Amino acid sequence: MIEAHTVETVYAAEKALMARLEDGELMARAVEGLAAVVAARLEDRDGAVVAALVGPGNNGADALYALARLAEAGHPAVAVHHDTVHDGARRAAEAAGVVLTTDPADVAEADVVLDGILGIGARPGLPDWARAWVAAVPESAHVVAVDLPSGQAPDGGSVDPDGVLADETVTFSLAKPVHLLPPTEQACGVLTVVDIGVTSDAAPAVRRLDHDDVSRRWPVPGPADDKYRRGVVGVVAGGEGYTGAAVLCVTAAVASGAGMVRYVGTPAPAGLVRAAVPEATHGVGRVQAWVVGPGLDASADSQDARDQLAVARDALAGPKPVVVDAGGLDLLDATVLDARREGATLLTPHAGELARLLSRLAGQDVTRDDVERAPLEHARRLADLGGATVLLKGSTTLVVPPGDGATVWSQADAPAWLATAGAGDVLAGLLGTLLAAGLPPEEAGALGALVHGVAADRANPGGPVRALAVAHALPGTVAALLRRV
């Protein structure tokens, strides 16, 4: 698991460790790790020339010390620096033969450029004096941000298009929210965390599960289990318009290991579910969790549709955990949200659905672009409004519990091929299984997003996937992840 901490926590943790170390030791560790990564990149790229953009703080000092090491190893090295430069780093650079300059054009020949303009001490936005530096970085250069891409806010938020967009970021011991949250994660590129010994017991701001975390968290049945104890999932999905959503959702719930699935739908999708998923049962009965919404038409008016919608509304009003997706989100109103459901609630909108939901429930005009610019802010608004956990789908999927300061989960496990119709229906079924097994909604959301993404990749590594193939890949994916202990 990777955990990201706020700037406040990171400074406090660094201070606590520095008090026990010799002066400069912590920075020396950071520099050693950074220089090793950059040396490897130069080698990968058959590159020789390395440059650094050196700001006035310790972030600039990290970059300049690392540059000195690379110069000692024989690389031509150029540093464009601010008027204020860390004394020790300047001396080390001069001694190693680094070219110190204030002319950004001098980085034109660089194969790798270190961005040491600003680190976690930064106020938001790229300073004016650094704009020409960033503009001068050659297109062909591999940009390694030191700690974080300058100009991007350490605690995340929205991407500053004028800031640095790195190919890679090297951070030290504790990741920061900027590294894991959308959309700033994109500005960081590939993340390397160099261990310099800093630790923190504080609750992280952001968590990300990795493959090795699955086996400890996935509900694995034991000898005393039967199908009811494993968890029964009720699926209210599909309508005469979107029949396939029911098949995808029910298939995924069965394939991810539900003890039993009870399907509630109108005749056309029910017929397809009968044919495609013989394991599913039909009709209302006791369940441990509900999935309400994939392919559900909240405005349908036939008697069958009204009966199905009545079950959906009962599920939303009832005490059992519920995943609310797609058409189910249209059934949410102030009454349901105000009631603060007794059971766990996991709302699973994509950006467009979240914008619509916020516009309707909060009476503000929110667009899809607004959500994509600041995903966490908007997901949190819905979580707080609804007293529910919000899973916001996208290339990075956020899982946001309600409550100030609650840890957010962020997963980026899926190939972009997963952006295909029906993939969300599969995720909803999988999440239903995890809620029915008793997992709390935020953990179910993060684990489900991870497994969904990995299943997409296993279904067809490196190529297009259809949603049904993702559902069919779930059993093998879970088994493979459970083998990683």
Ligand X SMILES: NC(=O)C1=CN([C@@H]2O[C@H](COP(=O)(O)OP(=O)(O)OC[C@H]3O[C@@H](n4cnc5c(N)ncnc54)[C@H](OP(=O)(O)O)[C@@H]3O)[C@@H](O)[C@H]2O)[C@@H](O)CC1
Ligand Y SMILES: Nc1ncnc2c1ncn2[C@@H]1O[C@H](COP(=O)(O)OP(=O)(O)O)[C@@H](O)[C@H]1O
User: What residues are designated binding site for AMP?
Assistant: 393-397, 424
- DSSP-based three-state secondary structure for 459: helix
Residue tagged 């972009």 (tokens) = 416
Give dist(CA 142, CA 163) in Å, integer: 16
Q: Does 394 bind ligand Y (CB under 6 A)?
A: yes
Measured at the alpha carbon of residue 49, what is the angle toward residues 48 and 50, in degrees to the nearest 5? 120
> Computed from CA positions of residues 118, 119, 121, 123, in that sequence, does the dihedral angle turn out positive or negative?
positive
Q: Which contiguous run of DSSP H or E holds residue 398?
A: strand 397-400
By a kind-dependent CB cut-off of 5 to 8 A, residue 422 interacts, out of ligand X, ligand Y, none, with: ligand Y
Residues listed for the chain = 485
Minimum separation from the CB atom of position 42 to ligand Y (A):
31
Q: Does 416 bind ligand Y (CB under 6 A)?
A: yes
Of residues 116-135, which lie at the interface with ligand Y (CB under 6 A)?
A: none
- DSSP-based three-state secondary structure for 338: helix
Of residues 46-75, which lie at the interface with ligand X (CB under 6 A)?
A: 55-60, 62
- DSSP-based three-state secondary structure for 171: strand
Contact segment (CB under 6 A) with ligand Y among 17-25, 285-293, 316-324, 422-430 equals 422-430
Residues within the annotated binding site?
A: 245, 295, 350, 393-397, 424-425
By a kind-dependent CB cut-off of 5 to 8 A, residue 416 interacts, out of ligand X, ligand Y, none, with: ligand Y
Beta strand 2-4 with 206-208: parallel, antiparallel or unpaired?
Answer: antiparallel
Residues ≥6 apart with Cβ < 8 Å to 44: none
Residue 103 CB burial class (10 angstroms; 0-12, 13-18, ≥19): exposed
Residues in contact with ligand Y, shown as a per-residue x/- string from 322 to 351 under the rule CB under 6 A: ----x-----------------------x-
Q: How many residues bind ligand Y (CB under 6 A)?
A: 17
Of residues 71-130, which lie at the interface with ligand X (CB under 6 A)?
A: 118-123, 125, 127
Give dist(CA 450, CA 265) in Å, integer: 28
Contact segment (CB under 6 A) with ligand Y among 19-27, 182-190, 274-282, 419-427 equals 419-427
Among 186, 215, 359, 395, binds ligand Y (CB under 6 A): 395
Q: How many residues bind ligand X (CB under 6 A)?
A: 23
Phi, psi of 468 (to 5 degrees): -65, -35
Q: Which residues bind ligand X (CB under 6 A)?
A: 14, 18, 26-27, 30, 55-60, 62, 118-123, 125, 127, 146-147, 172
Binding site for ligand Y (CB under 6 A): 326, 350, 393-395, 397, 414, 416, 418-419, 421-425, 427, 452
